[in-house]
Amino acid sequence: MTAYVFPGQGSQFRGMGFDLYQRSAPAKAMFDRANDILGFEITKIMFEGSDDELKQTDVTQPAIFLHSVILASTLGHFDAGMVAGHSLGEFSALVASGALSFEDGLRLVSKRAQAMQRACELAPSAMAAVLALADAEIEAICAQITADGEVVVAANYNCPGQVVISGSVNGVNLACEKMKTAGAKRALLLPVGGAFHSPLMEPARAELAAAIENTEFGQPRCPVYQNVNAQPSVNIAAIKQNLVLQLTAPVRWTQSVQGMVADGATHFVECGPGKVLQGLVKKIAPQAEVSGVVF
């Protein structure tokens, strides 16, 4: 069975989508439609913008969504047995599976990005990747620091031996030191705009919840494995609720891939910019076939 997976923030690169725009009339039409919906030329930033411009959350998220969804549209018959997306990628997965229209998905991603950007600006915050330390030990250190008055949590369970933590600048820095002392191979600050998938994203939840509630969702053609609980869902109410919870809850990517394998996935196809998820899947399920969509 084939599982299609969709990347999240961090997989962007300058020039992303340009080949699609040049070589496919339907893809060009979708990009042009996106410019109209967003009210600015995101294609210009994607194709010609600087790395710093592409790193802005309110640009990065719709840019990766566009690349992923438009690339999926070039496949013609979308034959996924199941889908999943890493953080932002969950919206791409929902569009590809038919649960959201392209236009509504883009509007939601844009609102989500803007709300998250505003939340980032309310307090200094950070994220860091922790390598080669047990999940339980990471969680215990985060809980201790949070109990002492800072904010830091496990935000992304990316693969065995790789967890991203998220929270206040002081909390993350303190956690990095404690985790290195506890035996982590590395604890590296990431070049991101804020503390995604942490309680510091709480200010964005109400805005995203209202936008999701006012958006029409349809029945997905295949199960969607959601970040919040790593469980498959085709229930629209549950899907919508989990999209909101995802803002402040960890991305359970390791558990999602393990669940897809247990439910019959033998081939994972990454659909979007970069190869980040292909690398993670190989570490989580080395027995699975892994590839990307080539246009």
Q: Which residues are catalytic?
A: 87, 197
Task: Indicate the pairing of strand 224-225 with strand 82-85.
Answer: parallel
Q: Report the residue count for the chain.
A: 295
**Cα–Cα nearest to 187, from 166, 203, 168, 205:** 166
Q: What 3-state DSSP class applies to 201? A: helix
Q: How far apart are CA 176 and CA 184, in angstroms?
A: 9
Cβ atoms of 165 and 119 within 8 Å: the answer is no
Residue 264 phi/psi, 5° resolution? 115, 0
Alpha helices in the chain (DSSP H): 18-23, 25-38, 42-48, 51-55, 57-73, 89-96, 102-122, 135-147, 169-181, 202-213, 236-245, 253-262, 276-284
**Cα–Cα nearest to 3, from 260, 283, 286:** 260
Q: For the chain, give the longest Cα–Cα distance.
A: 56
Q: How many CB atoms lie within 10 A of CB 57?
A: 22
